[in-house]
Structure 1
């Protein structure tokens, strides 16, 4: 496996990583390894739009069924004429 050295890392970032690792019960090295692995393997374009994200979030709370409102006026054609 490869080894990496990170230079000029701000002390506050190092401390935050140390605290995060402690919260998760891991060494700093294991925590950083996990962070880098997730960042390198996640899909660059997950395709989750706002609606999908909200649907997923509310599904965890029991879900919500919403009916779209009925249209009261017929759709009209777009006017691309010059003004």
Structure 2
């Protein structure tokens, strides 16, 4: 699992994090994981509590924009290998 190091955090921020973690019954590290997950994960669908899928999200944005034609034919020409010699 990847690790992240955050440097130069103010004493006030560190203290606030530790207080928040203690109020939630977690370690500071566990509290940071919760904060990061909430900040970067997509919003959950209320009915199913499942992650929003990228394709569904893009289709919804297209509908809101008045419809977008995403039926584009893909170029299926095989790629040529790069000559590094």
* TM-score normalised by the chain length of structure 2: 0.49
Structure showing greater Rg:
1
TM-score where L is the length of structure 1: 0.50
